[in-house]
Structure 1
Amino acid sequence: MKNLIGLDQDKVQVLAQKLNLLLANYQLFYQNLRGFHWNIKGKDFFELHTKFEEYYDDAVLKIDEIAERILTLEAEPLHTFSDYLNASSVKEAKSVNNGVDAISIIVENFSTLIKIEREILSLASDADDEGTVSLMSDYISETEKTLWMLNSYLK
């Protein structure tokens, strides 16, 4: 059976579940970034404060895009913090104010996100869901470059 946009309903259901997993992880990642932005201290304060704001601004846009893609696939996006906490592999980062520690956590969080994005890309390709394929391809390209830059910062 096909859904409104012509995709196999069974494949879309699995895809929407994985997108909800990505949504939950992005929500925790976003909150971690806000905490880093607010609490960062040290000689790199100005640089990192601005960079963390750039990252959380991007994350909040992705959160909205992911939720809207889930809706486009005729599923319901997760929308409570309890759901996010239960589903997310990204863990809360509390009271982090050291730049190197924050960047290390961000690298770990991005690594979690890119793994899920690759899984979604494969599922979307199998479902002939070009909209989700395009979205994930863009996210993966951005995340790969960001991971390279963050790892360069840590060396």
Structure 2
Amino acid sequence: MITDRETAEKPKAKLQKRAFARLGYTKMETAELVDALNKLLANYSVHYQKLRNFHWNVKGPDFFDIHEQFEQQYNDAKVAIDDVAERIRVFGQTPLSTMRDYLETSDINESSTDLSGMEMVSEVLKDYEVLLEHMFNTIDVALNNGDSGTVDMLNSMVKYIEKKHWMLTAFSKK
């Protein structure tokens, strides 16, 4: 028979093993989640700067269409970056925040300013595929660790990126 004292001590012992008792994640779970989120953050940050580069430097017959799209997309990327960084803060950790860290961590590379408008669109499409890969990886990590908050956040981002990928793909087909 379990006494009231044994019942009260069991949850207390379990909480002591957790890195964040109120969130319920162990140090290992937190490290896995934050690592995946930081990789996504780094890729999103390089992508964001690339979009700004393209917005400022696009030329050619599709200038007005592409220029406006790049601006909308970098503004949306800025919100996503903030959401990912704040999610890392939820776990009591410090997100990556320097360009050096982003460039060292990111699978997305910087681009030059001398690309044609359609080459820029092609670069953005490749970036979207990298971002989606990192989003799906982070969703897997979150699911494995019972982190529904991160899954919920990323599901919205996946839908957005998939839609933008479709639209830019349709635009780039002449």
> Equivalents in 2 of 1:140, 1:60: separation in Å?
15
Identity %: 36
Map 1:4-83 → 2, pairs under 5 A: 4-83=22-101
Question: Please, what TM-score do these two structures have when normalized by structure 2?
Answer: 0.86
TM-fit CA distance, 1:15: 1.1
CA contact (8 A) 1:36 1:96 kept: no
Q: 1:130 aligns with which of 148, 154, 159?
A: 148
> Equivalents in 1 of 2:130, 2:155: separation in Å?
16
1:67-125 per-residue CA deviation (whole Å, 9 max, x = no partner) reads 00001012210011111110011000111441110100000001000000000001101
**Letter of the aligned partner of 1:70 in structure 2?**
I
Q: 1:100 aligns with which of 113, 118, 137?
A: 118
**Letter of the aligned partner of 2:130 in structure 1?**
T
Q: Which residue of the partner structure matches residue 3 of structure 2?
A: none
TM-fit CA distance, 1:8: 3.0
> Equivalents in 2 of 1:97, 1:39: separation in Å?
9
> Equivalents in 2 of 1:33, 1:14: separation in Å?
29
Residue ranges of structure 2 left out of the alignment (5+ in a row): 1-16
Assess, with a 3 A threshold, how the Cα gap between structure 1 residues 145 and 109 changes in structure 2: closer, same or farther.
Answer: same
Q: Which residue of the partner structure matches residue 11 of structure 2?
A: none
CA RMSD of superposed structures (Å)? 1.1
> Equivalents in 2 of 1:17, 1:104: separation in Å?
28
SS across alignment from 2:33: helix
TM-fit CA distance, 1:5: 1.5
Q: Which stretch has the larger CA shift, 144-153 or 108-117?
A: 144-153
Higher relative contact order by CA 8 Å / sep ≥ 6: 1 or 2? 1
SS across alignment from 1:101: helix
CA contact (8 A) 1:29 1:109 kept: yes
Q: How many residue pairs align between the two structures?
A: 155
The ranges of structure 1 where at least 4 consecutive aligned residues each deviate by more than 3 angstroms after the TM superposition are none
Q: Which residue of the partner structure matches residue 132 of structure 2?
A: 114
Q: Which stretch has the larger CA shift, 63-72 or 144-153?
A: 144-153
Question: Please, what TM-score do these two structures have when normalized by structure 1?
Answer: 0.96
TM-fit CA distance, 1:147: 1.1
